[in-house]
């Protein structure tokens, strides 16, 4: 090959390379995006996705979230949970996904020795926190409700996917775990549609898929438990992770200066007073993160962090009622405190 021929081939290759780089940049710039907000599962749900099928994926995700809500909500009369609750002593056939969520909830009930308890329904109903009927019940009412709260009285049959509650008055409530399951389902839908960059926020239950389209990490704010939703006291940069927070600010009422929130300690039958006002779990899987955020909130800072450190690939940020921020070992150097009222305490 002549030198001039070689030169022109090299020039052509360089030209094609430059073109493809420019094309690549244009692709990045032109990556379509879609954002949407809806209300489901008693909370505001926001989603953003980047890619050709962004809107389609958001629609499919919101559809799946509603589908999960319709099956698993304790407030929807026709839900499978409501059918179980109104038929004590009977084996109720449920869909595979409902079965999966109840089974996972029972795993966490065992792991936390009953602090996390999906049979908490009678107490949730009694306190009515987040509803117009919210009130402080008397001791007798609490005692009565407690007498029908015990996850050991839930019977599962894996083969037929049936669920039975064995005592009259029992009520399942999957409110502490179902949003986590829904977030994982959103991720599944996003990835199946080859979308590389998206996030969904189910009322404080955040899932980020991939990194941002420009390759940078998502910057996630941690809610200031003392303030209105949207006020941030710390931040963390994440990719391909979920961060799920249980906080005393999510649903509560105040009476005689006392704050009564929605996370109930199944031992006392009252809103948990463990010293924790917010517990965030960071990991890959939102299903586990959701169950754990509620569990750690009830277990308290010491036992909660002990559990987190025992579990692989799980990190946590706990805020105590004296505004100490306790982080798990894997988060050292990664949490940025934005409000000096909060002091970081590395464990």
* Interacting residue ranges for ligand AMP, rule: CB under 6 A: 116-118, 120, 124, 173, 175-176, 246, 250, 262-264, 266, 290, 293-294, 298
Q: Closer CB to ligand AMP, residue 101 or residue 209?
A: 101
Q: CB 30 → ligand AMP: shortest distance, Å?
A: 38
Q: CB 262 → ligand AMP: shortest distance, Å?
A: 4
**Which residues face 19 on adjacent strands?**
none
Distant-in-sequence, close-in-space partners of 218: CB < 8 Å, separation ≥ 6: 199, 208, 211, 212, 237, 238, 239
**What does 154 bind: Mg ion, ligand AMP, none (CB cut-off 5 to 8 Å by kind)?**
none
How many C-beta atoms surround the C-beta of residue 4 within 10 A? 8
Q: Closer CB to Mg ion, residue 98 or residue 295?
A: 295
Residue 209 near residue 188 (C-beta atoms within 8 A) = no
Q: Closer CB to ligand AMP, residue 94 or residue 178?
A: 178
CA atoms within 13 A on the CB side of 291: 24
**What does 314 bind: Mg ion, ligand AMP, none (CB cut-off 5 to 8 Å by kind)?**
none
> What radius of gyration do the chain's Cα atoms show?
24
Q: Closer CB to ligand AMP, residue 69 or residue 250?
A: 250
Q: Closer CB to ligand AMP, residue 163 or residue 176?
A: 176
Q: CB 16 → Mg ion: shortest distance, Å?
A: 52
- The secondary structure element, H or E, covering residue 182 is helix 178-192
Q: Closer CB to ligand AMP, residue 123 or residue 208?
A: 123
**What does 116 bind: ligand AMP, Mg ion, none (CB cut-off 5 to 8 Å by kind)?**
ligand AMP
Q: Footprint of Mg ion on this chain (CB under 5 A)?
A: 176, 290, 293-294
**Which residues face 155 on adjacent strands?**
164
Q: At what angle do helices 178-192 and 54-72 cross, to 10 degrees?
A: 150
Nearest alpha carbon to residue 320 among 336, 337, 343, 295: 343
Q: CB 247 → ligand AMP: shortest distance, Å?
A: 8
Strands of 168-301, DSSP E: 197-202, 205-209, 218-223, 232-238, 241-247, 252-255, 258-261, 264-265, 270-271, 276-283
Phi, psi angle pair for 262, to nearest 5°: -90, 0
**What does 117 bind: ligand AMP, Mg ion, none (CB cut-off 5 to 8 Å by kind)?**
ligand AMP
As a whole number of angstroms, the distance between CA 221 and CA 237 comes to 9
As a whole number of angstroms, the distance between CA 271 and CA 273 comes to 6
**What does 50 bind: ligand AMP, Mg ion, none (CB cut-off 5 to 8 Å by kind)?**
none
Q: CB 162 → Mg ion: shortest distance, Å?
A: 25
Token pair 């277990």 in the structure block, residue: 299
Q: CB 177 → ligand AMP: shortest distance, Å?
A: 7
Q: Closer CB to Mg ion, residue 197 or residue 293?
A: 293
3 state SS of 101: helix
Q: CB 291 → Mg ion: shortest distance, Å?
A: 6
Q: CB 216 → ligand AMP: shortest distance, Å?
A: 29
Q: Closer CB to Mg ion, residue 224 or residue 290?
A: 290
Residue at shortest CB range from ligand AMP:
175
Residue at shortest CB range from Mg ion:
294
Sign for the CA dihedral angle at 136, 140, 146, 148 comes to negative
**What does 263 bind: Mg ion, ligand AMP, none (CB cut-off 5 to 8 Å by kind)?**
ligand AMP
């Amino acid at each position: 090959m002549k030198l001039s021929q070689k030169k022109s081939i090299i020039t052509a290759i360089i030209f094609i390379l430059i073109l493809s780089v420019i094309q690549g940049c244009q692709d990045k710039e032109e990556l379509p995006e879609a954002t949407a907000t809806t209300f489901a599962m008693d909370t505001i749900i926001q989603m953003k996705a980047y890619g050709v099928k962004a809107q389609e994926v958001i629609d499919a995700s919101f559809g799946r979230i509603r589908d999960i809500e319709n099956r698993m909500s304790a407030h929807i009369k026709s839900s499978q949970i409501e059918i179980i609750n109104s038929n004590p002593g009977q084996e109720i056939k449920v869909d595979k996904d409902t079965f999966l969520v109840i089974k996972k909830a029972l795993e966490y009930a065992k792991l936390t020795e009953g602090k996390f308890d999906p049979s908490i329904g009678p107490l949730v109903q009694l306190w009515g926190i987040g509803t117009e009927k919210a009130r402080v019940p008397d001791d007798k009412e609490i005692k009565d409700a407690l007498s029908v709260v015990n996850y050991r009285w839930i019977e599962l049959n894996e083969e037929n996917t049936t669920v039975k509650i064995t005592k009259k008055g029992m009520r399942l409530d999957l409110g502490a775990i179902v949003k986590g399951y829904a977030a994982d389902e959103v991720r599944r839908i996003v990835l199946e549609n080859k979308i590389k960059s998206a996030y969904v926020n189910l009322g404080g239950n955040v899932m980020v898929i991939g990194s941002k389209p420009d390759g940078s990490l998502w910057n996630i704010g941690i809610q200031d438990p003392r303030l209105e939703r949207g006020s941030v006291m710390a931040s963390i940069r994440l990719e391909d992770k979920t961060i799920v927070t249980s906080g005393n600010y999510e649903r509560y009422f105040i009476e005689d200066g006392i704050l009564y929130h929605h996370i109930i300690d199944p031992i006392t039958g009252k809103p948990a007073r463990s010293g924790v006002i917010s517990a965030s779990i960071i990991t890959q899987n939102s299903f586990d993160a959701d169950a754990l955020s509620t569990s750690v909130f009830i277990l308290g800072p010491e036992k909660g962090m002990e559990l987190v450190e025992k579990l692989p690939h799980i990190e946590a940020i706990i805020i105590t009622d004296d505004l100490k921020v306790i982080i798990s070992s894997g988060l050292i150097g990664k949490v940025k405190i934005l409000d000096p009222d909060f002091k970081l305490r590395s464990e």
